[in-house]
Structure 1
């Protein structure tokens, strides 16, 4: 009987004891250990590495295309001007007066010229504008003076566009330039050059010499046109005006 009372009252006593502890601010603490933290996965899987490599390859490919596009943009103005002028042939479909030099002849890097100041520089240093070139000896006979006059007048008739043109006289010997020539053509660059190098670069015809012609060099330094001997300056003007109109370089 007593043992039955003990078994009956023991749970009650324990329950009452727990209630009293809760009232006094005590809580029951779990003795179970917390769950272990998940194991970290590797930072980069094989697929991620492949994706990174593909992205790097795509970036290099885009870089190459960007450089190609820039090169095309830079060369487009000259290509468009030549195509328009020689293929489309604006204003009635007439051909040019000057003979197109094909293939174009870049200014030789070894072609050096000496100015009035005595300094020697590459002729290619004049790149960036259109060059109208004549080659003759320093004494400048009548044919030489006529070409210088034509070049000066063609340039002057271009109005504001004349600043895009530089007239150049390549002097092929050491003869002194007459004072009247210097005074009349002060805006022309008078440069001493080796006659052999000049003749090798400036093409003539079977019946003419390089000293018989006026030549045109584009702003990229390419010799691209030769005007006839004893040229008509009004027709030279027409060609030059068209080229300046259809090309915005230089």
Structure 2
């Protein structure tokens, strides 16, 4: 004699019961896909700009003047900068626009002034796009900034930072230091380009123009 397992009848029109485990797994999977989609949407503009610039190379296949930093180096969370008012803030708080960085002591001799001039001119030549760029002078000591320099570059952020922390973050070419270079940080806070010492400002301008053209953020 065969035995049949009895089952409680379900009301007419009732949906099949779903175990709590299945529901939890479904919610987890949906949440994971939503998170992945958000990451893709947020990172796509920067990724596309780098791809177009370094792979497609829209300017007739020419390579960039600046050196791409690989892998990218995010602004260290512990790296703080201090203004003349004595207020300290994380350098990462400046994220949101393209940062063009220079490193020098506060006395700012001729090489320092030349870099500040190049950064100001490159930014100015971007026309309406110049507001997407912030020029930043990272000062490595407490020496007062000469009045003439301060007056000449009122739009440049002049802040003090720990030189050891900067040296650990900003890579330099062989036989140079970070004071010999100009650097670019993308709006997501990633150090992504270093320009050579004794740079050609017209070539820096070309790189910056293409970065702004192929990126929709910042």
* TM-score (ref. length: structure 2): 0.91
Unaligned runs of 5+ in 1: 1-39
Q: Which moved further from structure 2: 180-189 or 51-60?
A: 51-60
| Structure 1 residue corresponding to 2:154, chosen from 186, 207, 212 | 186
- CA-to-partner distance for each residue in 1:81-120, whole Å, 9 max, x for gaps? 1011001111200000000111111111111110122100
Q: CA deviation at 1:64?
A: 1.7
Quote the residue 1:14 is aligned against: none
SS of 1:135's equivalent in the other structure is: strand
| Structure 2 residue corresponding to 1:228, chosen from 189, 196, 199 | 196
| Structure 1 residue corresponding to 2:81, chosen from 99, 109, 113 | 113
Distance 2:34 2:11 in 1: 34
Matches within 5 A, 1:79-98: 79-98=47-66
Q: CA deviation at 1:193?
A: 0.6
Distance 1:163 1:241 in 2: 13
SS of 2:85's equivalent in the other structure is: coil
The reply on whether 1:78 has 2:46 as its aligned counterpart is yes
Q: CA deviation at 1:205?
A: 1.3
RMSD: 2.1
Count residues with an aligned counterpart: 211
Distance 2:144 2:217 in 1: 35
The reply on whether 1:161 has 2:138 as its aligned counterpart is no
Q: Which structure has the larger Rg?
A: 1
| Structure 1 residue corresponding to 2:208, chosen from 219, 240, 244 | 240
* TM-score (ref. length: structure 1): 0.80
- CA-to-partner distance for each residue in 1:204-239, whole Å, 9 max, x for gaps? 111111100000000011100000101000000000
| Structure 2 residue corresponding to 1:208, chosen from 155, 168, 176 | 176
Unaligned runs of 5+ in 2: 1-7
| Structure 2 residue corresponding to 1:171, chosen from 139, 144, 153 | 139
